[in-house]
């Protein structure tokens, strides 16, 4: 497979669609950048906390500002630190994002006034040569006008006073942003009314325990160091989305998430917010890649995450990361397969991809496996073939007696896909035992090639239908 291409902040691949200008939000930690990002986007996307440094990775979203569509980028706070330190790596990633921006919103805290760090990074932004708009945030109340005056000494022109938390001055800021952007480009190729709309992106979430190699894998797929990585566990806090294209041309919205630990171990507010964002991303995804550190084997928490994926009805691909560091690979693969067979019957036949995000070996197999899982997840079985299977399954293993009477199951139909959901009709079908429903689900998987995806079996006329997972 050729290397996938990214579309996180780059122009659309459609030649009829003009490039979307990029507006990056920068500033030192805790000046309200993420609050301003959410306000401009119009919904709560970025995590917000009083804890400085909550944002670590660049998060982007499209917004409509005064008739212009822009891509807003929320970046980590700018801090002066050694390049090898966490703060230094965050600064380098932020500056790399600023280099791609058409306009930089440099945010300061008007209540605190201009700090030496503000002055230092304002000078660095001027040297970048990109247009910079100074935003004096937290400028609310009677002293707002006086607080803003101090920002003129940064030499970045007239500041725009706002209160992102209360929404004050946001309309003026939107107008100023629209005025400073380059003129909108005309479509290179006029769109024909008969041209079909492009398929919507496939939503793919990468989940797993902390330090399982999720962000390293994302960077490898994107072909650049978009996500912050390092030896420290729990670097990723927010759920960060990126766009890329598979070798077949399918657009994929790739979401990197924070590591999921056992609930009892999640104590700090920042981690609680991060875990909440990860679970929300999982629920919005269509396909989930569960990243498992192959050097550690399949942990109980990995199985808990897999069961959560199944309960949400999402298709799943298991990625064994750090495969290059595994010494006895045959033994490791056998141990993981045995554990899955015993403990994860709900996703029997799940696809396993061995890879190394650090070296890139095996990563080319992941997106084809994801697209194959998506095809299974969207499967529909013809009613005729389904009922022929149903008759054979009942003959091979008749329904059991319930309270001395045998259940009479008459026919079956598929109600929907995503995931495949089937309804069984029959006399007293609501009393279908769980064991027999599991037998039918396993037979469905084997007969119609539905391996690795959740299967739902419901019965007609019951208030609380049995759901087989």
**Neighbouring-strand partners of residue 288:** 205, 316
Q: 101 and 159 share a domain? A: yes
Angle between helices 383-396 and 434-448 (to 10 degrees): 130
Please tell me the predicted confidence (pLDDT) of residue 79. Answer: 54
Q: 289 and 316 share a domain? A: yes
Mean pLDDT of the chain: 79
Q: 230 and 250 share a domain? A: yes
Where residue 146 sits, what CATH number does that domain have?
3.40.50.300
Query: Which pair of structure tokens corresponds to residue 404?
Result: 């001395």
pTM above 0.95, yes or no: no
Asked if residue 78 has pLDDT above 80, the reply is no
Please tell me the predicted confidence (pLDDT) of residue 90. Answer: 57
Measured between alpha carbons, how far is residue 34 from residues 41, 152, 353 in Å? 10, 23, 36
| pLDDT tens per residue across span 255-299 | 877 777 665 444 555 556 666 767 877 888 899 999 999 999 999
Mean pLDDT of 456-469: 60
Measured between alpha carbons, how far is residue 141 from residues 10, 13, 33, 105 in Å? 39, 46, 20, 22
How many domains does the chain contain in total?
A: 3
Domain limits at 448?
383-459
Where residue 436 sits, what CATH number does that domain have?
3.30.300.20
Q: E-assigned strands of 357-402?
A: 401-402
Asked if residue 67 has pLDDT above 60, the reply is yes
What confidence category does residue 366 fall into, taking pLDDT thresholds of 50, 70 and 90?
very high
Please tell me the predicted confidence (pLDDT) of residue 122. Answer: 84
Q: 254 and 160 share a domain? A: no
Q: 143 and 263 share a domain? A: no
Query: Which pair of structure tokens corresponds to residue 216?
Result: 């390293």
Burial-class residue 322 by CB neighbours within 10 Å (0-12, 13-18, 19+).
Answer: buried
Measured between alpha carbons, how far is residue 134 from residues 79, 122, 173 in Å? 18, 9, 10
| pLDDT tens per residue across span 214-223 | 888 988 888 8
């Amino acid at each position: 497979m050729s290397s996938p291409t990214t579309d996180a902040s780059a122009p659309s691949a459609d030649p009829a669609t003009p490039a979307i200008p990029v507006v990056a939000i920068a500033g030192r930690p805790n000046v309200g950048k993420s609050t301003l990002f959410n306000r401009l986007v119009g919904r709560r996307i970025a995590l917000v906390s009083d804890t400085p440094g909550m944002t670590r990775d660049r998060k982007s979203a499209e917004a409509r500002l005064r008739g212009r569509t822009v891509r807003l980028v929320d970046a980590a706070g700018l801090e002066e630190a050694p390049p090898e330190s966490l703060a230094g790596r965050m600064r380098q990633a932020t500056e790399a994002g600023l280099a791609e921006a058409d306009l930089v919103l440099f945010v300061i805290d008007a209540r605190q006034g201009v700090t030496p760090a503000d002055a230092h990074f304002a000078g660095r932004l001027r040297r970048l040569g990109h247009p910079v708009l100074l935003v004096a945030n937290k400028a609310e109340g009677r002293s707002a006008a006086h607080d803003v005056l101090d920002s003129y000494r940064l030499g970045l022109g007239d500041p725009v006073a706002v209160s992102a938390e209360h929404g004050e001055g946001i309309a003026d800021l939107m107008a100023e942003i629209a005025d400073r952007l380059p003129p909108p480009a005309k479509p290179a190729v006029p769109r024909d009314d008969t041209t079909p709309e492009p398929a919507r992106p496939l939503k793919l979430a990468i989940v797993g325990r902390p330090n399982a190699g999720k962000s390293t894998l994302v960077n490898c797929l994107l072909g650049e160091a978009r996500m912050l990585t390092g030896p420290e566990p729990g670097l990723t806090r927010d759920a960060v989305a990126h766009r890329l294209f598979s070798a077949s041309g399918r657009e994929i919205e790739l979401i990197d998430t924070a590591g999921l630990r056992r609930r009892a171990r999640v104590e700090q507010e920042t981690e609680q917010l991060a875990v909440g964002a990860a679970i929300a991303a999982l629920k919005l995804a269509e396909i989930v890649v569960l990243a498992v550190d192959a050097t550690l084997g399949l942990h109980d928490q990995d199985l808990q995450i897999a069961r959560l994926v199944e309960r949400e009805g999402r298709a799943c691909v298991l990625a064994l990361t750090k495969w290059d560091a595994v010494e006895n690979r045959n033994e490791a693969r056998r141990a993981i397969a045995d554990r899955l067979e015993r403990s994860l019957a709900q996703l029997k036949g799940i696809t396993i991809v061995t890879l190394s995000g650090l070296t890139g070996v095996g990563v080319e197999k992941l997106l084809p496996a994801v697209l194959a899982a998506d095809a299974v997840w969207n499967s529909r079985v013809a009613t005729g073939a389904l009922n022929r299977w149903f008759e054979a399954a009942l003959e091979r293993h008749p329904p059991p007696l319930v309270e001395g009477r045998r259940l009479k199951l008459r026919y079956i139909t598929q109600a929907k896909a995503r995931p495949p959901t089937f309804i069984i009709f029959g006399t007293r079908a609501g009393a279908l035992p769980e064991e027999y429903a599991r037998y039918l689900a396993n037979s469905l998987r084997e007969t119609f090639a539905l391996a690795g995806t959740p299967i739902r079996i419901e019965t007609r006329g019951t208030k609380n239908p049995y759901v087989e997972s």
